Structure 1
């Protein structure tokens, strides 16, 4: 069984994406890190934000886990802003935290998206797939979910169960 972590990047810590990742976490025992609870500044070419929460968080991830499951709502056909900021900050690992960046090589990446539409527009996964390639990570799986009447529909649970098998 792989040791994994779920990175939740939503503007609503208790929203629909949280419901989905809580379901996955209960079945995988992967802990959830809510980016909304962290102080992570946008990428800065002068690295003036080095004292925020990004560096301790990314070090914890690369030193303790084999797989990262990124979970994001779909906002305007793309990942959430908070998730994009996290991805932008991975650039720190290529410039000033190179040892940490090297540890991303060989790790696995999976994606959970959650939105009001039952299908994603083409291209949604491209930033994740290309980031994984660039960093030498293995992009292993993705699943798109939605909530109906405050609950996870059976069809979505079935897709999630298949996804869970792929990340363990």
Structure 2
């Protein structure tokens, strides 16, 4: 399996999203980065946040990994605010950190998420898919976990299919 990393963007470092990230991490040996433990400011057109944790983190990711698995809870039918700030900061890689941005090209992306609704609303994955396309990444797979009583409901067949897509390198998006 290719080297990958799991980026968790949740307001709760011990919540359901971390539980599913830990499950996927244990089966892939992908390390987990909890964005809540980082200081990452919002995107700023004057790049006033250039000395926070974002640039060292994204540089490390592009140098060391081929696959990024984003793990987010579903908050108000979208990715978490923590994850959105991380995505907004990818703009740094297009403006002041172009060399780092170029290294995203050819990398692979996947998404795991969890929420309380039985089905994920249509369009949730669109920001991830379109970001992957824009950056020249390959969007590999996604999986939604339903949370019940603070725990994710795990369907082994779905997890195995998700892992197979990542391992075999077959994108769910053509």
- TM-score over 0.5 for the alignment? yes
The answer to whether residue 61 in structure 2 is matched with residue 77 in structure 1 is no
User: Which residue of the partner structure matches residue 159 of structure 1?
Assistant: 158
The answer to whether residue 33 in structure 2 is matched with residue 33 in structure 1 is yes
User: Which residue of the partner structure matches residue 171 of structure 2?
Assistant: none
User: Which residue of the partner structure matches residue 90 of structure 1?
Assistant: 90
**TM-score, normalised to structure 1's length?**
0.96
| Structure 2 Cα separation of the partners of residues 132 and 162 of structure 1 | 21
| Structure 1 Cα separation of the partners of residues 166 and 119 of structure 2 | 21
Number of aligned pairs? Answer: 167
Residue 150 (structure 1) shift: 4.4
Q: Which runs of 5+ in 1 are unaligned?
A: none
**TM-score, normalised to structure 2's length?**
0.93
C-alpha contact 2:10 2:80 (8 A) present in aligned 1: yes
Which ranges of 4 or more aligned residues in structure 1 deviate by more than 6 Å? none
| Structure 1 Cα separation of the partners of residues 98 and 12 of structure 2 | 32
Residue 164 (structure 1) shift: 1.3
1:69-105 deviation digits (Å, cap 9, x = unpaired): 0000000000000000000000000000000000000
| Structure 2 Cα separation of the partners of residues 131 and 11 of structure 1 | 22
| Structure 2 Cα separation of the partners of residues 78 and 132 of structure 1 | 17
User: Which residue of the partner structure matches residue 107 of structure 1?
Assistant: 107
Q: Which runs of 5+ in 2 are unaligned?
A: 168-174
